[in-house]
Amino acid sequence: MTLRNRIHSAFHKAGLANHIPQGACYVLADVSRLPGDTGKEKAMHLLSKTGVAGVPGEAFFHGTGGSNLIRFCFAKRDDELEDVARRIG
């Protein structure tokens, strides 16, 4: 399984919808179900609960866009991605 598919599957199983990227090593996950009004609040919640860090989606959109998205990089070793999958699962 490719790194891309592994992280996509892990987020999907955790209930965090995301799109399979076409070329980049990043996944934008829909975190609308997490508590918080902003992407930063949602990212901090996820970090405090799981130890998994992501970049709030507002950093990539103009205005209020991206408030329900967090970007994650999956250019990691297999064992690190397995750990992420376990933590968010």
Task: Name the pTM for this structure.
Answer: 0.77
Give the whole-number percent of the chain exceeding pLDDT 90.
42
- All domains in the chain, ordered by first residue: 3-88 (3.90.1150.10)
In 3-state terms, what secondary structure has residue 14?
coil
Mean pLDDT of the chain: 86
The band of 34, judged by pLDDT with boundaries at 50, 70 and 90, is very high
Decide if 57 contacts 39 (C-beta within 8 A): yes
Report how far residue 58's alpha carbon sits from residue 45's, in angstroms, rounded to the nearest whole number.
Answer: 16
pLDDT 10s digits, 38-78: 899 999 999 999 999 999 999 988 877 888 999 999 888 88
